[in-house]
């Protein structure tokens, strides 16, 4: 049987876990400020939830300036860097436009 002191300690030691989407949202602005980053999302890799960082061009770590480095993980969630090239707006084909 637990006494009041034990119960208070349990509440005091309780860890709050954030979802991957909350972590992504927390760091998205910072990640998007890194040169070369074009988008941030979430996904799965080897059956684990990961934070996806999409870049114009993938570079080897030794060629990056410190401010260009993307962390390998964010609050326990692995980051995965994927090269997607330059992102530009496209004109919608006429047949898809609403009339």
Would you write out the chain's pLDDT as a tens digit for each of its 99 residues? 455 555 555 454 444 568 999 999 999 999 999 999 999 999 999 999 999 999 999 999 899 998 899 999 999 999 999 999 888 877 777 777 775
- Segments forming the whole domain that contains residue 82: 18-87
Q: Look up the pTM and report it.
A: 0.72
- Could you tell me if residue 97 is inside a domain? no
User: Does residue 1 sit within a domain?
Assistant: no
**53 in any annotated domain:** yes
CA distance linking residue 37 with residue 59, whole number of Å: 12
With contact defined as beta carbons under 8 Å apart, do 30 and 42 qualify? no
Establish if 77 belongs to a structural domain: yes
Q: Is residue 32 one of the residues assigned to a domain? A: yes
Left if phi > 0, otherwise alpha if psi is -120 to 50, otherwise beta: which for 73?
beta
* 4 falls within a domain: no
Q: Residue 83: helix, strand or coil by DSSP?
A: strand
- Number of domains into which the chain is organized: 1
* Cβ atoms 5, 41 nearer than 8 A: no
Q: Is residue 50 part of a domain?
A: yes
For residue 5, being part of any structural domain is answered with no
Residues across the chain: 99
């Amino acid at each position: 049987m637990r006494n009041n002191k034990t119960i208070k300690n349990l509440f005091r030691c309780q860890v709050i876990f954030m979802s991957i989407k909350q972590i992504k949202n927390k760091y998205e602005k910072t990640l998007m400020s890194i040169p070369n980053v074009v988008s941030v999302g979430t996904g799965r890799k080897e059956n684990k939830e990961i934070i996806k960082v999409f870049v114009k061009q993938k570079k080897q770590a030794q060629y990056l300036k410190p401010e260009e480095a993307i962390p390998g993980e964010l609050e326990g969630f692995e980051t995965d860097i994927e090269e997607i090239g330059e992102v530009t707006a496209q004109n919608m084909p006429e047949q898809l436009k609403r009339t």
